[in-house]
């Protein structure tokens, strides 16, 4: 996700649902939330298939938490936010308190967190990594998520990437048991949507 230039007065908002219009603070140290246009397109699709009501959501490289909080506002039951930057995580916790929809923040690199046991399987995984993170690194995170019980058998995974940075020209390299479902482009942003095509096997079954 690209850098914001100013630390003062930077805000975004929840687009729809129970917390519609609530403003979220944005840390100025390398974090910018997904644009309103992209978020609206992304969640409009999810509202129809598979739907967010009662879903457990995992927001990786969460930043402000805009994606996971949008999901909670639209009916998701639980969200876990993973963020490696301590300052951003602090702002994220304040945003959760402001919106008042619950959610849990875990501080640490996504790859490290996903290498550990999952607290529960997640129905929706949202990934918006920094440009410096390559597609292959994100694919490795998702492979770890699948093998350590983080993905529900019918999980949907959404990866947001810029056209520059670590993005492959040939498309996103989905690891098993995930496969690409569709890809959408919004200006310089590319949204990759994938899903499980078979049971997400726990780590012990892979040995």
Q: Give the pLDDT confidence of 44-98 residue by residue, as tens digits.
A: 777 665 679 999 999 999 999 999 999 999 999 999 999 999 999 999 999 999 9
Q: Which long-range contacts (CB under 8 A, 24 or more apart) does 93-100 make?
A: 94/25, 95/24, 95/25, 95/64, 95/65, 95/69, 96/65, 96/69, 98/22, 98/23, 98/24, 98/25, 99/14, 99/19, 99/22, 99/24, 99/69, 99/72, 99/73, 100/19
In contact, 105 and 30? CB cutoff 8 Å: no
- Dihedral angle sign, alpha carbons of residues 86, 36, 151, 131: negative
Question: What is the CA angle 54-11-101, rounded to 5?
Answer: 25
Most confident of 142-146, 159-163, 170-174, 186-190: 142-146
Q: Give the pLDDT confidence of 132-165 residue by residue, as tens digits.
A: 899 999 999 999 999 999 999 999 999 999 866 5
Compute the average pLDDT of residues 172-180: 95
Compute the average pLDDT of residues 3-14: 52
Contacts of 97 (CB under 8 A, 6+ apart): none
Q: Is 27 or 132 the better-scoring residue by pLDDT?
A: 132
Domains present along the chain, CATH in parentheses: 11-206 (3.40.50.150)
What is the maximum span of the chain, computed from C-alpha positions, in angstroms? 50
pLDDT at 105: 98
Compute the average pLDDT of residues 107-126: 97
The CA radius of gyration of the chain, in Å to the nearest whole number, is 16
- In this structure, are strands 23-25 and 11-13 parallel, antiparallel, or unpaired? antiparallel
> What span, in angstroms and rounded, lies between the C-alpha atoms of 83 and 65?
9
> What span, in angstroms and rounded, lies between the C-alpha atoms of 93 and 99?
10
Please state, rounded to an integer, the average pLDDT across all residues of the chain. Answer: 85
pLDDT at 189: 87
Whole-prediction pTM: 0.86
Tokens of 116: 């550990």
């Amino acid at each position: 996700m690209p850098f914001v230039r100013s630390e003062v007065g930077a805000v975004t908002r929840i687009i729809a649902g129970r917390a519609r219009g609530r403003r979220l603070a944005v840390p100025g140290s390398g974090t910018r939330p997904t644009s309103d246009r992209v978020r609206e397109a992304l969640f409009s699709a999810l509202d129809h298939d598979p739907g967010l009501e009662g879903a457990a959501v995992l927001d990786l490289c969460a930043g402000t938490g805009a994606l996971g909080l949008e999901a909670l506002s639209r009916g998701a039951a639980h969200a876990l936010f993973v963020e490696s930057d301590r300052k951003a995580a602090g702002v994220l916790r304040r945003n959760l308190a402001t919106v008042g929809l619950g959610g849990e923040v875990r501080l640490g690199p996504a790859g490290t967190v996903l290498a550990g046991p999952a607290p529960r399987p997640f129905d929706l995984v949202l990934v918006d990594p920094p440009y410096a993170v390559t597609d292959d690194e994100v694919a490795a995170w998702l492979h770890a998520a699948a093998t350590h019980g983080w993905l529900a058998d019918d999980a949907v995974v959404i990866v947001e990437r810029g056209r520059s940075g670590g993005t492959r020209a040939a498309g996103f390299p989905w690891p098993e048991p995930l496969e690409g479902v569709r890809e959408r482009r919004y200006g310089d942003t590319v949204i990759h949507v994938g899903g499980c095509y078979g049971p997400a096997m726990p780590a012990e079954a892979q040995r």
